Structure 1
Amino acid sequence: MIPIAPIFIRSKEVLEKLSALLDEERFAYGESDSDTIINIAEQKQALLDEMNQLNEKRVNILIKFDVVDRKKPTEEEFKHWLNLQDSSLDNVRLLMNECETLLQVCKTKNNTNARVLNTLQKRNKHLFELLQGHNSKNKVYTSRGSTHPISSKHTLGRA
């Protein structure tokens, strides 16, 4: 029997932690808590690194047992092989499905957080331009085609 169940068990644990971190990240965005946001980003990176290592380990095991092609291993190849196996690998099938579901949840949460962050960045940029006295109507094009605000003599910083 191929020893991949422990890899899926650990992957599931990592994905559950990642999902919880993404919830914390969204809350931190709402609170504008930059220290927490930076801390969460570091934790997310560590979890993603571990997921990559687990995936590499899983692929190497599957290659070792000739389940997938050595030169170009694919997920579909593994899933096809898994579907052909008897019920002794039902636990692996279940774990794999749970991991795929958790991965989709994490992707959705991450995309939501990215949209929240993008909105916050736009808001902060706008507020910064207001503080500098830039008016969104007073912009000129640069030689590269982007816009550049024209400074006003009536800035809040000069008041």
Structure 2
Amino acid sequence: MIPIAPIFIRSKEILEKLSSLLDEERLAYGQLDSETIITLSEQKQALLDEMNKLNEKRVNILIKFDIVDRKKPSEEEFKSWLTLQDSSMDNVRLLMQDCETLLKKCKTQNNTNARVLNTLQKRNKHLFELLQGHSSKNKVYTARGSTRPISSKHTLGRA
């Protein structure tokens, strides 16, 4: 029997933890807690690094047992092989489905967090421009064709 079940078990644990971290990250964005955001980012990166190592290990095992092509291993090859296996591989099939479901959830959460972050960045940029006395209406073109704000003599910092 191929020893890939432990890899999927650990992958599922990582994805569950990642989902939890993404929820915490969204809350930290709402509270504008930069220290928590940085800590969560580091934890997410560590989980993603471990996930990459697990995936490499899984692919190497599949290559070793001649389940996927050595030169161009694909997920579809593995899935096709898995569907042809008997009921002894049911636990692996279920774990794989759980991992795929969790992965979709994590991607959705990550996209949501990206939209929240983008909104916060736009708001902060606007507030910064206000503090500098810039207005989005008062912009001129540079020699390169981009725009830059026109400074005002009546900035909040000079008031």
Which TM-score band applies after superposition, normalised by the shorter structure?
Answer: over 0.9
The equivalent of 2:70 in structure 1 is 70
What do residues 61-115 of structure 1 show as CA deviations (whole Å, max 9, x unaligned)?
0000000000000000000000000000000000000000000000000000000
What do residues 7-48 of structure 1 show as CA deviations (whole Å, max 9, x unaligned)?
000000000000000000000000000000000000000000
May I ask how many residue pairs the two structures share in their alignment? 159
CA distance in 2, matches of 1:147, 1:96: 50
The equivalent of 1:84 in structure 2 is 84
CA distance in 2, matches of 1:16, 1:149: 45
- State the secondary structure of the residue aligned to 1:2: coil
CA distance in 2, matches of 1:51, 1:37: 21
CA distance in 2, matches of 1:151, 1:100: 51
Using structure 2 for the length normalisation, give the TM-score.
Answer: 0.99
Q: Percent identity?
A: 86
CA distance in 2, matches of 1:98, 1:30: 29
Equivalent runs, 1:113-124 vs 2, <5 Å: 113-124=113-124
CA distance in 1, matches of 2:116, 2:139: 26
The alpha carbon displacement at 1:143 in A equals 2.7
Equivalent runs, 1:9-158 vs 2, <5 Å: 9-158=9-158
AA at the equivalent of 1:101: T
AA at the equivalent of 1:111: N
- State the secondary structure of the residue aligned to 2:156: coil
Deviation larger for 102-111 or 133-142: 133-142
- For structure 1, list consecutive stretches of 5 or more residues without a partner in the other structure: none
Query: What is the RMSD of the two structures over their aligned residues, measured on CA atoms?
Result: 0.5
Using structure 1 for the length normalisation, give the TM-score.
Answer: 0.99
The alpha carbon displacement at 1:142 in A equals 2.1
